[in-house]
């Protein structure tokens, strides 16, 4: 959620911090602030509720002190509302120390009372200010900012990333990580800290992972990482696979519009280098070798939101190809369902950021239960892959818009690749069958490009629906998760009631919602599908049309049977049934974007939402 950036080096810290915060806006926030240590040794802060632009305009009108050490923050409110006073940074040691915080300190109340009892005062409603006061008091006793941080984190419960600066320690930023994300950026005579690499990718593509329960101290010419006990730890450096231009709009009206246009590339890049001579090539599954995969007798896919719908599609594919039972569990429910886990259970976690707190905690729980772990993730160096036995990176590139689009199709692609790999290892598909399915998958990027062209008229369609208050989505089999995804996007972006249903459930209750004028999107399976789902879905269309619904069908080209019963048909190219969702979801992404745009809403930063949900 919160965006965090820290900097030490020769350049203006204000410019570096504001640039980093600008690139971190996608994480979701309701206030922003800076703390800068000037060359005169004075610590100065500035913070405001609202958009980052309010802070930028204020700094432009009344410049902060020019210094080379600083921290910056965008806050997503947890304790205390989105006000100037609750915005970060928070101060300690009589205003000489500034602290920013991502996460939740669960035991802040007794700690705050302890501090009140000894005469400390507070100016905010946040849990974060408690940490600032504690670190300030510890620094007064030790004179060592890293040691002060070590003493304080030992007392904190919850999930947190903390960054602090002190006016007596110029050229030094200290950070601590417990569950919540933090990464180091290595520069030439300068170093950085950030919630993710977007914070500093404009300046360097060299990054270093920070593990859980570790403390980092950066100076212009050094980086020191220890565990919470003070012992040095080994670190791993990696190169960020994209540059700052990839996280910029590049002339598009919104990041979401840009990212929808990149859905063909997201699938292509996820496939790149992983299909060789008609077989899946996974050099990065070392922790899950063939003998382990052959022993697996059950798979659980854990995820939240859009990633859970990708997991549902993964279930259909893996069961069909590898003949292993698969269930899909919401990460935040998984730990509390008393699941049965052992070494023959494979838990596949799906998370774009790799920092989704619910999923991270579920992965740790599964690991403690003896299960094997595979991560499907888009972000190198993130927490969830490090907790897993193996990872499949999606290589979708940075996704800045809060509502996920290209990451969704990339996650499906990665799950399908794994399903085919597992089928080959277990012998449930022949080499020829694996090759045939991979050929289908490799054709998807070009077909997605066709869908983008064919969907050009959706903006006009959405325009006359700007006042619509409810939209329903129906689908069967692999069309059902697509219906759920279409509804979620509309909720996120247009702020209207939207629900996705399994079309077979229609007569079991939801048909009561149908009234004259009700908009219903229907994901129509191919008439070439031997399962005979097509005529069943066409019957569903007739049932809702008879009750006055307005039907918009997503159907493959040449499907003449649906034409007499749908008010609008959005065509998609022909594909085998399991691969249709990769195509049929794109018009729904575009529709949500266009309807929100028609209503004048911010499609990149919907209200109340954050890109990376890093608290439970």
- Any idea which residues carry the catalytic annotation? 2, 611
| Cβ proximity of 470 and 496 under 8 Å | yes
| Cβ proximity of 370 and 347 under 8 Å | no
Strand partners, 550: 519
Strand partners, 498: 471
Going by C-beta distance under 8 Å and a sequence separation of 6 or more, which residues neighbour residue 447?
A: 572, 573, 575, 582, 583
CB atoms near residue 151 (< 10 Å): 18
Helix (H) or strand (E) segment spanning residue 584: helix 580-598
Task: Report the chain's terminal Cα–Cα distance, integer Å.
Answer: 11
Nearest to 314 by CA among 395, 411, 433, 448: 411
Nearest to 13 by CA among 47, 45, 38: 38
Q: What angle do CA 10, 13, 17 make, to 5 degrees?
A: 135
Residue 557 and residue 55: Cα distance in Å, rounded? 51
| Cβ proximity of 166 and 97 under 8 Å | yes
Number of Cα atoms under 13 Å in the Cβ half of residue 241: 12
Residue 352 and residue 456: Cα distance in Å, rounded? 27
Residue 364 and residue 296: Cα distance in Å, rounded? 19
Residues in the chain: 616
Report how far apart, in Å, the C-alpha atoms of 610 and of each of 28, 383, 462 are.
4, 18, 25
Distinct helix (H) and strand (E) counts, the chain: 19, 26
Phi, psi of 217 (to 5 degrees): -120, 120
Question: What is the per-residue DSSP string for 322-377?
Answer: H---EEEEEHHHHGGG-----TTEEEEEEESSS--HHHHHHHHHHHHTT-EEEEEE
In a 3-state reduction of DSSP, which class is residue 241? coil
């Amino acid at each position: 959620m919160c965006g965090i950036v820290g900097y030490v080096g020769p350049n203006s810290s204000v410019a570096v911090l504001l640039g980093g915060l600008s690139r971190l806006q996608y994480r979701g926030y309701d206030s922003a602030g800076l703390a800068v240590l000037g060359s005169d040794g004075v610590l100065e802060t500035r913070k405001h509720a609202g958009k980052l632009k309010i802070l930028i305009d204020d700094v432009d009108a009344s410049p902060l002190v020019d210094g080379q050490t600083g921290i910056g923050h965008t806050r997503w409110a947890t304790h205390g509302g989105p006000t100037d006073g609750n915005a970060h940074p928070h101060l300690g040691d009589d205003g000489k120390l500034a602290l920013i915080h991502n996460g939740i300190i669960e035991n802040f109340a007794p700690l705050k009372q302890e501090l009140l009892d000894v005469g400390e005062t507070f100016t905010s409603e946040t849990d974060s200010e408690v940490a600032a006061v504690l670190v300030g008091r510890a620094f007064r006793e030790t004179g060592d900012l890293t040691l002060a941080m070590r003493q304080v984190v030992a007392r904190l419960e919850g999930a947190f990333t903390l960054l602090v600066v002190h006016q007596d320690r110029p050229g030094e930023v200290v950070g601590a990580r417990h569950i919540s994300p933090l990464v180091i950026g290595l520069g030439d005579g300068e170093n950085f800290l950030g919630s993710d690499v977007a914070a500093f990718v404009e300046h360097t593509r060299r990054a270093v992972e920070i593990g859980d329960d570790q403390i980092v101290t950066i100076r212009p010419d050094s980086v020191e990482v220890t565990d919470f006990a003070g012992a040095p730890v080994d670190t791993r450096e990696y190169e960020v696979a994209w540059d700052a231009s990839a996280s910029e709009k590049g002339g598009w009206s919104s990041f979401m519009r840009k990212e929808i246009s990149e859905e063909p590339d997201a699938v292509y890049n996820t496939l790149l280098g992983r299909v060789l001579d008609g077989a899946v090539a996974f050099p990065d599954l070392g922790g899950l070798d063939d003998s382990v995969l052959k022993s697996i007798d059950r798979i659980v896919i854990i995820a939240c939101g859009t990633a859970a719908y990708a997991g549902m599609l993964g279930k259909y594919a893996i069961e069909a190809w590898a003949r292993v039972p698969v269930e899909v569990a919401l990460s935040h429910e998984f730990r509390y369902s008393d699941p049965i886990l052992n070494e023959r259970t494979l838990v596949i976690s799906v998370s774009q950021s790799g920092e989704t707190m619910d999923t991270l905690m579920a992965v740790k729980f599964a690991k403690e239960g003896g299960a094997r772990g595979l991560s499907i993730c888009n972000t190198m160096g993130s927490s969830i892959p490090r907790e897993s036995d193996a990872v499949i990176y999606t290589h979708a590139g940075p996704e800045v818009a809060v509502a996920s689009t290209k990451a969704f199709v990339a996650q499906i692609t990665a799950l399908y690749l794994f399903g085919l790999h597992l089928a080959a290892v277990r012998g449930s598909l022949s080499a020829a069958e694996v090759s045939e399915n991979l050929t289908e998958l490799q054709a998807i990027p070009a077909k997605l490009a066709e869908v983008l062209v064919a969907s050009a008229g959706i903006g006009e369609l959405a325009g006359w629906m700007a006042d619509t208050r409810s939209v329903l989505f129906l689908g069967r089999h692999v069309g059902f998760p697509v219906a759920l995804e279409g509804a979620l996007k509309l909720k996120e972006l247009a702020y209207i009631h939207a629900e996705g249903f399994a079309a077979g459930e229609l007569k079991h209750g939801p048909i009561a919602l149908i009234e004259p004028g009700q908009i219903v999107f229907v994901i129509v399976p191919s008439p070439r599908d031997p399962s005979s789902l097509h005529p069943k879905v066409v019957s569903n269309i007739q049932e809702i049309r008879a009750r006055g619904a307005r039907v918009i069908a997503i159907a493959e080209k040449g499907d003449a049977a649906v034409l007499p019963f749908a008010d609008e048909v959005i065509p998609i190219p022909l594909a085998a049934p399991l691969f249709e969702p990769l195509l049929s979801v794109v018009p729904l992404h575009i529709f949500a974007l266009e309807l929100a745009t028609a209503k004048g809403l911010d499609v990149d930063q919907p209200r109340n939402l954050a890109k990376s949900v890093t608290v439970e």
